[in-house]
Amino acid sequence: MTDTIIESVPASQTGIATSDNAIVRTIGGSLGSAVLAEILTSHVGPHGIPAERSFTTGFCAAVAARGVRAALVLPRQLTARTHGKNSEPT
């Protein structure tokens, strides 16, 4: 991921771009952990242990989030590859 970021920005902007990437990844990890914790604790059994369906719901939510991310990112990457460095100048 870092290589893709560095290749897509001017050399003078690589520090900013990589730090933006780190910030977004940190925020995403925090939000993802919070959402998963909320899902797991939404169905707690009598002894305070999350029910099995909580783990299933959490896994499905993670898969759905990954699918949304792929749907947003893949078209951009494919467009960049076909119109990027490999294309002939006009």
- In the chain, what are the domain boundaries? 2-83
Instruction: Categorize the per-residue pLDDT at 30 as very low, low, confident or very high, splitting at 50, 70 and 90.
Output: very high
**Taking the mean position of all CA atoms in its chain, how far away is CA 60?**
15
pTM over 0.85: no
- How confident is the model at residue 64, as a pLDDT? 94
Instruction: Categorize the per-residue pLDDT at 19 as very low, low, confident or very high, splitting at 50, 70 and 90.
Output: very high
Count of other CB atoms within 10 angstroms of residue 39: 20
- How confident is the model at residue 55, as a pLDDT? 93
Residue 65 amino acid letter? A
Residue 36: how many CA atoms within 13 Å on its side-chain side?
Answer: 15
